[in-house]
Amino acid sequence: MRAIRAARLFDGVTTTDNPIVYVEGGTVVSVAHGGPAPADALDLGAVTLLPGLVDAHTHLVFDAGADPVARLHAVDDDELLRGAKVAATRALHAGITTVRDLGDRGYVALRLRAQFAAAPHTGPHVLAAGPPLTSPRGHCWWLGGEVSGVAGIRAAVAEHAARGVDVIKVLATGGEITPGTKPYLLQFSPEELAAAADEAHRHGLPAAAHAHSAPAIAAAVDAGFDTVEHGSFLTADGAAADPAVIGKLAASDTVVSATLGYLPGQPVNPRTAALSATLTAIFQQQRRAGVRMIVTSDAGIDASKPHDVLAYAAEMFLLFGDGPEAALRAVTADAAAACGVGATKGRVAAGYDADLLAVAGDPTTDIAALRDVRAVFRAGVRVR
């Protein structure tokens, strides 16, 4: 058994001082507060220990370069796998110990998940969706998930489940990186979306809907999706909150996965930049209404979103009116619960995986401390 000592602990819910975390076999077995530590304890000094971060929306096959889509078209799946491993390693070294990949090609993320499962200290825990379901020539059709019709969708979900995916991702609207699609237009009927969520749940899998517009968000909630990715309320000429849809969201169990965070100094999508103030106001309105929300990154889609950008996303969450502890929960315990792994991830408590992050300072008062990483543990093994 190994003991780890720090100045303070954010355990995913609350903060305490002078913790001693006992780890055995990759699992936290107990947490003590105050008192003497074993002579051989690893004393991390004046740091805050917290659960490893959970990025519930990332894309490991996108390289966060100048044109990730062009690169994806130019390489085979083996090269995508090599790049995905680099991306995942970058995330791990930033303290992101669990990543939910919401769209790959050729089930590359499943291959990476298997590699890391065989040697957990080499990478984060990967939750994989495989190729996201999209309409014919819809958003990200080039990832291989084109499907149509209720029967076709049910068959596609069943095939994904048989492959061993951890989540079903459905592109309910178009998106910015696929010419010919529009992020404010639905790609599937309400019946098709309901079939996708129902079939996912029948196989014991959570369902995530990429949904930018109010009609798509409403349809995803009605269909029973577990998370709405983005939730930005885009329209043909900008973005506008829909109070009725926000009320529907707030009354549901659906969690909005707010894809935030940009690396300073890198160009941001012009449309996103132009709508920044409007989108902030829309998310503020959602939070005031009581919408459940987690913080994610959408990492990989351009140079402003490298795979270690989640700490910047947590900082942006404060703009919506929440304090630092709420932001920390949104990238730890709440994010883990939204991914369906809340029983083992996102907390520092007995029975949870020993995926730990130590940062200088106190992120419960200054969320920027998340960027000053001093140690990372994956399954109890120190990797940084």
pLDDT digits (tens, 9 = 90+) for 155-197: 999 999 999 999 999 999 999 999 999 999 999 999 999 999 9
Q: Are residues 322 and 357 in the same domain?
A: no
Q: If 0-12 CB within 10 Å is exposed, 13-18 middle and 19+ buried, where does residue 106 land? A: middle
pLDDT value at 271 more than 90:
no
Q: Which helix (H) or strand (E) holds 54?
A: strand 53-58
Q: What is the CATH number of the domain that holds 260?
A: 3.20.20.140
Residue 376: give its domain's CATH number. Answer: 2.30.40.10
Cα–Cα distances in Å, from 124 out to 37, 53, 267, 323, 352? 29, 10, 28, 27, 15
What's the whole-model pTM score? 0.98
User: Has residue 270 got a pLDDT over 90?
Assistant: no
User: Is the pLDDT reported for residue 267 higher than 90?
Assistant: no
Residues 22 and 95 in one domain: no
- Is residue 96 located within the same domain as residue 133? yes
Q: Which of 338, 355, 370 is the last residue of a domain?
A: 338
Residue labelled with tokens 């004046």: 46
List b or e across 176-187, with b for residues whose CB sees 16 or more CB atoms inside 10 angstroms: bbbeebbbbbbb
Same domain, 143 and 237: yes
Asked if residue 227 and residue 370 are part of one domain, the reply reads: no
Mean pLDDT of the chain: 97
Q: Are 239 and 210 in contact (CB under 8 A)?
A: no
- What pLDDT, on the 0 to 100 scale, is given for residue 334? 98
Q: What is the DSSP letter of 226?
A: S
Share of the chain above pLDDT 90, in %: 96
Helix (H, G, I), strand (E, B) or coil at 146: strand
Q: Same domain, yes or no, for 101 and 248?
A: yes
What per-residue confidence (pLDDT) applies to 152?
Answer: 98
pLDDT tens-place string over residues 31-63:
999 888 999 999 999 999 999 999 999 999 999
Is there a single domain that holds both residue 169 and residue 209? yes
Structure confidence by residue, pLDDT tens digits, 209-227: 999 999 999 999 999 999 9
Same domain, residue pair 225 and 352: no
Whether 297 and 195 map to the same domain: the answer is: yes
Give the model's pLDDT for residue 51.
98
pLDDT value at position 119? 97
Is pLDDT at 272 greater than 90 in this prediction? no
Quick one: which of 125, 86, 63, 55 has its CA closest to 298? 55
pLDDT in tens, 298-352: 999 999 999 999 999 999 999 999 999 999 999 999 999 999 999 999 999 999 9
- Shared domain check, 238 and 107: yes
Which range marks the domain in which residue 364 is found? 2-51+346-382
Q: Are residues 21 and 72 in the same domain?
A: no
Separation of alpha carbons 197 and 75, rounded Å? 32
Please report the pLDDT score of residue 236 as a whole number: 96
Check residue 35 and give its pLDDT: 83
* Residue 216 pLDDT: 98
Measured distance CA(156)–CA(162) in Å, rounded: 10
Number of structural domains, the chain?
Answer: 2
Q: For residue 273, is pLDDT > 90? A: no
Domain co-membership, 238 together with 281: yes
